[in-house]
Structure 1
Amino acid sequence: MSEEQKRLLQQQLWNIANTLRGKMNADEFRDYILGFIFYKYLSEKVETYANKALEPDNKVFAELDETKPEDKAYIDAIREEAVEDIGYFLKPSELFHVIAQKGNKKTDNYILVDLIGILKNIEQSTMGHDSADDFINLFEDIDLTSSKLGRSNTDKNALIARVLAHLDAIDFDLSNTETDVLGDAYEYLIGEFASGAGKKAGEFYTPQPVSTLLAKLVTCHRKKLRNVYDPTCGSGSLLLRVKREAESVGRIYGQELNRTTYNLARMNMILHDVHYSDFDIRQEDTLERPQHRDLRFDAIVANPPFSAQWSANPLFMNDERFSVYGKLAPASKADLAFVEHMIYQLSEEGTMAVVMPHGVLFRGSSEAHIRRHIIEKMNYLDAVIGLPSNIFYGTSIPTCILVLKKCRKHPDNILFIDASQHFEKVKTQNFLRSEDIERIVNAYAERKNIDKFAHVATLKEIEENDYNLNIPRYVDTFEKEEEIDIAAVAKELAALETDMAKTDATIAGFCKELGIDVPFAIEGDK
């Protein structure tokens, strides 16, 4: 599929999504359209799987009759294999195309009850199997009884049938294993929803350029990863970006607090063809109840909520994640608590890259104490990268990326990069371009001084600055103003005075001819 065809698919899906826009807010119609796309994907995947299994018998899955004993035997056999191999199962009568066609009929076209049952059956098909945790309550945000879909059941049915019919007409090209066409389209939709979601966007989506930058940083010196982890994974896009940048990733781990976003992350994994046994996404509060605390990760990436509140319960001073620092991050600013949590989960040879607000670089009190401990006692901070302002949805504040390693190749210095002035402005949003990302990653890899962009600061410099990491202390971006030639300026002013005097005399002559008063005093007049 060409790039133009990809863009066309993305636009088609966005147009279909807008079918629901007038009925509900962005958060709600996002959940419906992404859920239906996911249902279509699951349907086409199971149909492809079943047809391959039926090839030796010259059977087609969609044509099997569930009421006939012979066909039922085929269906039961495929069910058993499918749940083990791809994690779930759909009967021929439950396929997306079948339901979409029924909804498009002029009579006997009521599909809401069928659809509710099918979505529930997908989840139930996994019960008792290893994939159960990845599918349980996966469609709970698709409420087909909601009055926002229409006043009457007939209105609701007509709207949903129209959406399914539009989706049914699109070829997801799942047979093309060379490119992740549908995955790219799904990411596009999530990004489009995020751009219109305001402050809520940060809950589920990191802009793709930032995701790409984080992924490149943690894979810069290591392309084969045993695992990758995001403690605030949102829709999972950042984890998937690491998978794309790496040569191989053994297993993907994530944790997300918001229930709806957690469902979206699981859908995103499956839709990107990550096998259910290769990811483990959990729904819980990461700081209060970490779900993977016994594991250590080769790569950790995160974009935690900026300056979020947390309990800062004194009991956490007995938690190994925080006790070593001697003080807790303030209850009103959990930023460094997330950093501490990630350091604890990082493997000895691992790399973590986390987006933070600039305040973590210089704020005092307990944050200053923690910052100093990470640098002076642990010596884990590898780089500080300043990003442009206004590159995240819902906030315009400038941000930075902290890169940390436990076994640093350059333990006597910390690299500072100021990329705050390198971006493209599109309407009201700033974006990192591919060349901006490349410049940052190259500077990180080469680790040398670059005028007005990067500085390798010794630990002595950091100490002399009292462990204040504010980037302008280390990267001088001051642009010297061009020297002014005072004599030349004076000469120009004198010439202007002469020209003005001539002009005034000309105007005065015109006024005399017209018999009117001169509107200004002429030099030498009394």
Structure 2
Amino acid sequence: MNKQQLATKIWESANKMRSKIEANEYKDYILGFIFYKYLSDRELKFLKEEGFPQEDIETLVEDDAETVKYVRERVGYFIAYKDLFSTWLKMGKDFDVSNVTDALSAFNRLINPSYKMVFEGIFNTLQIGLSKLGDNSASRTKAISDLIHMIKDIPMNGKQDYDVLGFIYEYLISMFAANAGKKAGEFYTPHEVSLLMSEIVAGHLKDRTEINIYDPTSGSGSLLINIGRSVAKYINDEDNIKYFAQELKQNTFNLTRMNLIMRGILPDNIVTRNGDTLEDDWPYFDEANPIETYNPLYVDAVVSNPPYSQHWDPSNKETDPRYARFGLAPKSKADYAFLLHDLFHLKPDGIMTIVLPHGVLFRGGEEGQIRRNLVEGNHIDAIIGLPSNIFFGTEIPTVIMVLKQKRENTDVLIIDASKGFIKVNKNNMLRASDIKKIVDAVIARVDIDKFSRKVSREEIRRNEYNLYISRYVDSSEGVEKWDLFASMFGGIPMSEIAELGEYWGAFPELKEALFTKGEGPYAELTFGNIEQTVNEHPAVKSLFSNFMGAFGDFYSFMKNELITNMASLNVLKEEAVLSAEIFARLTSIPLINKYEAYQILADEWAKTSVDLEVIQTEGFNAVKKVDPNMVIKKKDGKEEEVQDGWIGHVIPFELVQRTLLSDEYEAVMQKEGRLAEISSEYDEILDSLSEEEKDSSVTTESSDAFVAKEVSEKLKEIYADVDTQEIKALNAYAELSRKADKLAFISAHDDVVWSNMEASHDGTYAKKAVNAYLAELQCVFEFPEESFEAKIIKVSKLMAEEKEVKAQVKADAAALHMKTKETIESLSDEQALALLEQKWIFPLTESIKQLPHAVIHVLVHKIKALSDKYAVTYSAIESEVKETEASLSALFDELVGNDYDMKGLSEFQRLLKGE
């Protein structure tokens, strides 16, 4: 399984196993055990690399002071063999909850003193919460045993495995957050928001060789980790990134430390603290001697997503250097207190990003004064309005504020990014293209219509330092206008044609080819077939020609990048290379949105990058491997994991079938197509039945399917009622018993085709042969095509065919499945490379090719909409109404009735005439 499949499997199992335990609590147990497995596996790896034989590893005990010291000094902690995660798994039925409690207690005793800040108390939440996993020791033992077996397959070693581990950890945190309601905000910043903030920071820090980053409300640590990953695209040595984190809640603080440690970050590069950021400024002192060690730390970047509008105590903080320059936030809303704390710890050339509620942009009082001082101090670099409902557990509108200590420019870039998102379940989510567009706008500081604008300090002053986004950037869609003259008399307003100016600029003379001048400021369509006119126009053809010229060798470029350089390319940096290439090729192509192209790349890269990581870690032969397809099935009322065939380790089975086994694949597809046709034929017959026929026993209670058994019974009834002259004669023959009577009957009845039966040696026909022939005659009897009987006979034949085809599909698909497995395992290098091309490059390049077609499709749609808008005038509608009224009134004149009827009709006619 790849990391996404493994993460999904673990989440599904965990969600079932947690039973009545709240998601927010259960996450601490599962994530704690994952971390303990990581530490155990890390120690084992170290011991093996140091040359410890297995028999020596199995004798590791806490009493061995020399070995304990040796391991602690190099790993940072010591775990005895009996307490290793792998040992728990080997214990089988002998495993007990006490093994866990003893191991966690021992861990706290055996931490290297130098790494106490990193490891001390990291399992406190897990230790305290074990009691909630069951009512007694036996139930807790079972719950823990199930949990550790669920996570046992997570790999923990090597560069790729760190990524898999980190991905799974982050995935589980996000899924628990999605199920944790309002408590989600305590520990989770959505990955897309985190990535957006990280990319902005990374763009500012890309030329640094050593970087310190800090999150004062660290939660799960995802913001810090994403900044590290984003910055790592530019820095040569990831060990030159140092991470500072502070978190108030103990269990969330433990998440921060676990997450950072498991990403392979050196313990020396992790500085963390469990404390109140606003009450005790940090990092700037030694915990043991805070007064004499005052030494403020200044970092290259601060990133934070603090709790929104939290109460705090501003008492006696007027002289606090964090707030003295700007003012104190009101006690009911600590938003600016967090912001000013972050800003204080920035180096002069540093950058910070912070997520805050939308209200910080316009609320008055103390906040208004702080905002004024920040603007006048030239610290606010950019403001980004996010889509609503983007955070788990809250629908509060939010913004990202980007601030710096020193800036050359004095304007503020304001971005309204609230319209760019997709809906995922209950929440909105930023797409990769949305993030890219925002980051590009921030770095380049560009004005984009209805999206971003640089606002001068003078304009902000005129607005009394109110930074409400819609005051500066109008992202609303224009209200549709209707031209009164065109609505009454027809024609297309030239002013509305001019609104498509970007198209007329890109396609010279196309407007003139489509429209002719009409009366006054109005025009008429020249041709009825808009699509043909547009597509055949030389300027449009030129767009396609230029596009093909720009992307003519794009496939070969991609092949060289991903196939030729597969082993050596940097997966982390490659997406930026590819996006830059696509953007460069689109530079001279009008109308095509480069961010739509980027989204195509991002969607494909999400899959391709996983494959590349696997190949670079496991070697090229990983392409020629298959894995057991493990699924959860119920057996005897219990769920168990069983194998259901195979899946490609890298190459999907269907891709191999479509390319290398196309004949067998097409044969199965044709049969599956026939099954779909049969299903449609069932539906057609059902639709043709009368209500009385649908209520018969041959259909289900809901009348949406046929019942096989009842159809068979009804068929017997139908055939039993079939009666022809030949059938009558055969039935009469069947009643005879004497040979002479039978021979005489045969001689006298030429209405029976006797040759259709096999005669006995005495010239008569046995009862078995007669009955078989009778059944055959009944079956071939033709009922009227639309009769109920004909429909039931057709259904019966379809059911027989369906049964046969299903059996064939099952057998053929099973044979194809095994042949696919064998084909993957015996691929030549050339075949494997060709399949990777098909998987990685073909879908991307084909989707990119469709971009100009999409542009033209939108243009044609807009022209048609404009034409249809004024195609029918109000004058024409009014004339048609009057004609209809007159016709109806005339019909009334022909009606007769009693005095009251006629009086009513007369009044109705008067109303129709508008009298």
Please report the TM-score for the alignment, with normalisation by the length of structure 2: 0.53
- What are the within-5 Å matches in structure 2 for residues 134-283 of structure 1? 134-143=118-127, 148-168=132-152, 170-177=153-160, 180-223=163-206, 224=208, 225-246=210-231, 247=235, 248=238, 249-283=240-274
- Structure 1 residues 377-392: aligned runs within 5 Å: 378-392=377-391
Q: Counterpart of 1:45 in structure 2: which amino acid?
A: R
User: What is the match of residue 6 of structure 2?
Assistant: 9
Question: Aligned residue for 2:59?
Answer: 65
Query: Cα distance 1:362–1:61, how it changes in 2: closer, same or farther (>3 A)?
Result: farther
Q: CA deviation at 1:25?
A: 1.1
8 Å CA contact 1:284–1:290 kept in 2: the answer is no
Shift of 1:22: 0.7
Quote the Cα distance in structure 1 between the aligned partners of 2:42 and 2:428: 38
1:347 is paired with a residue whose SS is: strand
- Does residue 1:521 correspond to 2:913, yes or no? no
* Residue pairs, 1:297-336, within 5 angstroms: 297-313=299-315, 315-325=316-326, 327-336=327-336
Q: Post-superposition shift, 1:144?
A: 7.1
Letter in structure 1 aligned against 2:301 = A
For 1:403, give the aligned amino acid: V
- The answer to whether residue 34 in structure 2 is matched with residue 37 in structure 1 is yes
Pair 153,480 (structure 1): closer, same or farther in 2 beyond 3 Å = closer
> Is residue 205–residue 234 contact of structure 1 (8 Å, CA) maintained in 2?
yes
1:515–1:23 Cα change, 3 Å:
same
Contact 1:47 1:61 (C-alpha < 8 Å) held by counterparts: no
Verify the 8 A CA contact 1:50 1:78 in the aligned structure 2: no
Q: Deviations over 1:443-501 (max 9, x none)?
A: 11111221111111121112121111111222233443344221232342232233334
Whether the 8 Å CA contact 2:380–2:404 is kept in 1: the answer is: yes
Q: How many correspondences in the alignment?
A: 505
Letter in 1 for 2:90: Q
Per mean C-alpha deviation after superposition, the further-off stretch among 499-508 and 212-221 is: 499-508
1:85 counterpart residue number = 74
> Contact 2:162–2:263 (CA<8 Å) still a contact in 1?
no
Cα pair 2:24 2:184 within 8 Å, conserved: no
Determine helix, strand or coil for the equivalent of 1:212. Answer: helix
Q: Is the 8 A contact 1:86 1:275 kept in 2?
A: no
- TM-fit CA distance, 1:308: 0.7
Quote the offset at 1:506 in angstroms: 6.0
Contact 1:19 1:163 in 2 (8 A): no
- 1:501-520, CA deviations, whole angstroms, 9 ceiling, x for partnerless residues? 44456667788889786889
Matched AA of 1:392? F
Shift of the 306–504 alpha-carbon distance from structure 1 to 2, 3 Å rule, reads same
Matches within 5 A, 1:445-464: 445-464=443-462
Match of 1:21 among 18, 23, 46: 18
In the TM superposition, 1:389-408 aligns within 5 A as 389-408=388-407
> Counterpart amino acid of 1:499?
E
Query: SS where residue 18 of structure 1 aligns?
Result: helix
1 or 2 for the larger relative contact order (CA 8 Å, sep ≥6)?
1
The structure that has the greater radius of gyration is 2
Alpha-carbon distance, 1:279 to partner: 0.7
Q: How far apart are the structure 1 equivalents of 2:882 and 2:174?
A: 63
In 1, distance between residues paired with 2:128 and 2:276?
A: 29
- Please name the residue that 2:108 is paired with: 123
| Cross-structure match for 1:494 | 875
Q: Provide closer, same or farther for how the CA distance between residues 65 and 478 of structure 1 changes in structure 2, counting only shifts above 3 A.
A: closer
What one-letter code is carried by the residue in structure 2 that aligns with 1:500? V
Tell me which moved more, 479-488 or 452-461: 479-488
Q: Is the 8 A contact 2:305 2:356 kept in 1?
A: yes
Return 387-396 or 245-254, whichever deviates more. 245-254
User: Alignment partner of 1:390: what SS?
Assistant: coil
Q: What's the offset of the Cα at 1:277?
A: 1.3
Amino acid in structure 2 at the alignment position of 1:365: G
Distance 1:119 1:494 in 2: 85
Contact 1:47 1:62 (C-alpha < 8 Å) held by counterparts: no
Aligned to 2:413: 415
Give the superposition deviation at 1:192: 0.6
Instruction: Tell me the equivalent position of 1:288.
Output: 279
Other structure's SS at 1:316 match = coil
**1:370 maps to 2:370:** yes
Shift in Å at residue 171 of structure 1? 4.1
Structure 1 residues not aligned, in runs of 5+: none
Q: Offset at 1:84?
A: 2.1
Question: What amino acid does structure 2 have at the position aligned with 1:65?
Answer: T
- Residues in 2 aligned to 1:171 and 1:206: alpha-carbon distance in whole angstroms: 24
Match in the other structure for 2:428 = 430
* Aligned amino acid, residue 273 of structure 2: R
- The DSSP-based 3-state class of the residue aligned with 2:214 is strand
Q: Secondary structure at the match of 1:130?
A: helix
Distance 2:12 2:273 in 1: 32
For residue 180 of structure 1, what is the amino acid of its counterpart?
A: D
Secondary structure of the residue aligned to 2:300 is strand
2:470 aligned partner: 472
Shift of the 76–50 alpha-carbon distance from structure 1 to 2, 3 Å rule, reads farther
Q: Could you list the runs of 5+ residues in structure 2 that have no partner in the other structure?
A: 285-295, 490-872
Query: Could you tell me whether the CA contact under 8 Å between 1:51 and 1:61 is conserved in 2?
Result: no
| Aligned match of 2:867 | none
| Amino acid aligned to 2:76 | G
Quick one: distance in 1 between partners of 2:415 and 2:215?
A: 24
| In 2: Cα distance, 1:258 partner to 1:111 partner | 30
Q: Does 1:349 align with 2:338?
A: no
Q: Give the deviation of 1:175 after TM superposition.
A: 3.0
**Contact residue 24 and residue 177 of structure 2 kept, 8 A:** no
How far apart, CA to CA, are the structure 2 residues paired with 1:140 and 1:295?
29
Look up the match of 2:686.
none
Pick closer, same or farther for the CA change 1:220–1:525 going to 2, 3 Å: closer
